[in-house]
Structure 1
């Protein structure tokens, strides 16, 4: 990760009077959004602003909390003096961390059964991750049904479209992939598990591992030198 991504600024813009946060990587952006900031995506940069129509004291509390949370996990934050704080709150693992753990399980899997088990956590019909996402989207649609806003009916329809079409398609494809892997019962040819043990019938008892050596990379010859015109 570039070192520059560990630095952020949180300041009140002198021209617009908005509280703006600039810099950071995706992790920092997640912290800012969980604190309450709103992302602003431009062609050459993504920055964050405090929500509109907040009182100044609430903006200050929001910015101060963001500074505390970012510094608690090692980010360097340059901020206005009014936002500065020595508090370092303990960060709880976000809900997405358990899903990320599934990705790591798949990266380390050596058999189709292990990957099928991981995908089952996504596709389980009653309490799988995608079933939970469906419930969240449905609840958000119901919320917009009774929201007094001009765009609320459109947003509710859009959320239900995501459930009925997009999410349904993803879920169907993943279920098919999971079931196909569950029927294979096969090891992954490129991910053999190394036990670091020498078989009893090994002639060379000094061997430390029965695994074959990794393939040797064949050096690529340099391109031919173009011959210049003869004189």
Structure 2
């Protein structure tokens, strides 16, 4: 069965003339955002548009780049002829992939020590991910301070409030949880790992694994005959 979220359209809207990208899943949306598109979130749809104020040639390059990168990632893209291309640029893991890897480490952790090690990358005081996020928020606030627009000072204050209040709470809570896990030194009861070793208390020394065998699945009963088929 075809997955409809692997299909996208990149075209100029016939009414507004806007360059729009429609369709795709969250991975496709990330590709579009990295190319330069802006997400538009509606009640029943999320689509992407080109930034305002671009020259026609810049919009054409934007659309062509999006088609090339999406097709290189395995998406089926229908587009206006001007955006069609055979280019397939190389793709690299985004920075967020290394952060998402921490989630995998926590999902696969079999002990509290392993979970604590993964959370340490988030909570390390000097070079942890949350400390770096604090730096990004502060740098973005400083950037807005220098823009000089009527709302830029407010945006800068808002970013500093997020860093000082919300992010600090998240950092404090996760640091507390990490430290509690690091002190616990316990296996996760639902994630024990089979070592293929026979304990010394085992009577049957010929056993090759101390784990109980998986339960046998009972065969499913045959479906009842329809009333019209009975003789």
TM-score, scaled relative to structure 2? 0.89
CA displacement 1:7-46 (0-9 Å, x = unmatched): 0000000111000000011100000000000000001100
CA 213–88 in structure 1, closer or farther in 2 if over 3 Å, else same: same
Q: Which residue of 1 aligns with 2:55?
A: 55
Q: Structure 2: where are the runs of 5+ without partners?
A: 219-231
Contact 2:198 2:205 in 1 (8 A): no
Q: Which residue of 1 aligns with 2:43?
A: 43
Alignment RMSD (CA, Å): 2.0
CA distance in 1, matches of 2:142, 2:2: 42
Residue 120 of structure 1 pairs with residue 120 of structure 2: yes
The alpha carbon displacement at 1:112 in A equals: 0.2
CA distance in 2, matches of 1:122, 1:217: 42
Q: Structure 1: where are the runs of 5+ without partners?
A: 219-231
CA 101–2 in structure 1, closer or farther in 2 if over 3 Å, else same: farther
**Secondary structure of the structure 1 residue equivalent to 2:77:** strand
Q: Which residue of 2 aligns with 1:184?
A: 184
CA distance in 1, matches of 2:77, 2:203: 59
The alpha carbon displacement at 1:197 in A equals: 4.4
Q: Which residue of 1 aligns with 2:85?
A: 85
Q: Which residue of 1 aligns with 2:222?
A: none
Moved over 4 A (4+): 197-202, 214-218
CA displacement 1:147-177 (0-9 Å, x = unmatched): 0322211110111011001100100000010
**Secondary structure of the structure 2 residue equivalent to 1:78:** strand
**Secondary structure of the structure 2 residue equivalent to 1:77:** strand
CA 165–217 in structure 1, closer or farther in 2 if over 3 Å, else same: farther
CA distance in 2, matches of 1:24, 1:89: 19
CA distance in 2, matches of 1:39, 1:113: 40
Residue 140 of structure 1 pairs with residue 140 of structure 2: yes
CA distance in 2, matches of 1:216, 1:150: 70
The alpha carbon displacement at 1:194 in A equals: 1.3
Paired positions, count? 217
